[in-house]
Structure 1
Amino acid sequence: MTASSLPTSARPIIHSTVACVIQHNGRFLMVEEAKGRANTVFNQPAGHIELGEGPVAAIQREVQEETAWQVALTGYLGLYVFHTPEGETFHSHGFTGVPERLLPTAIDPAIVATHWLTRDEIVALATEQRLRSPLVLKRIDDAQSNRHFPLAVIHE
């Protein structure tokens, strides 16, 4: 039996997303999100790939929408697969980038604030369970260990 032959309610939910580790002067650009939770959570600029969009276009759009920063992408961290306890699967494309310029645009209303945080500050948030997912710190560690691929591995 294939997933497409299952009733709609029994089909697995798979999300295709993007996230970007943006570093400058030893700090990482993070977004603080409310998302209906009691406490806010922290994440890299990230979001879903929209219909007709590839991962590169999606991450450039998401970074601008969530932070008002225009970034230069510097590498591809790879595809991270994350399964939630609720049965959802996320295929998350990870990127690295550097800030180019702050744009005079408003940020997404779901974003409470943007922050430039050190890795130690992000680890402290992880200890408090304030990161959106375990992938947040994993992507940072991969970026810091220069574990990335050229952007040319993505064919859009």
Structure 2
Amino acid sequence: MAHRDRISNLPEELLLKILSSLPAKDVAVTMVLSKRWKFLWTLVPRLEYDHSMYQDDVDGSSRFSRFVHSSLLLHEAPFLESLRLKLDHYSCAADIGVWVKTAVKRSVRELDIEINSPSLSTPVLLPWSLYSEGCKRLVTLKLSHTTLVDTSSSSPASFTSLKKLSLVHMKYPSQDLF
């Protein structure tokens, strides 16, 4: 008797909701399950990346960083409901800026960045688009162990939809440090 795949018969909306509860690493591997699942992972509206689930390569380049870059590049959901980045001291500040900029372009509603090693050698420069009109849909912003740097932009920050802001263990360096 042939085995029937009952979960694949569920509506796509329900499958995406189930996949949204998993870390991005686990979501991406579902593409090997069947033809139906091959591209389903690219439509998941909630993405969570946890650096602790990866080990860095011997040459110093990070498999984690490459995975986040490629999966965000392939992501095709109409908008990004949530992006959670749980990072450690191997994370590159420039990468974080690119990921945030990508999320802003995807109209992210909830952005959560947690850096578990507050001793990054370079402060994390969040792109000005996060603070400006380019991020009109952002409802929740959670930052932990990051450094906010004044970008000296002529336009003021604008969070027109922001309802929840959480800043934990933040650093606010003086301009003469840069």
Normalized against structure 1, the TM-score is what?
A: 0.25
Considering fraction of residues, name the structure with more strand: 1
Considering fraction of residues, name the structure with more helix: 2
Higher-RCO chain (CA-CA 8 Å, sequence separation at least 6): 1
For the pair shown, the structure with the greater C-alpha radius of gyration is 2
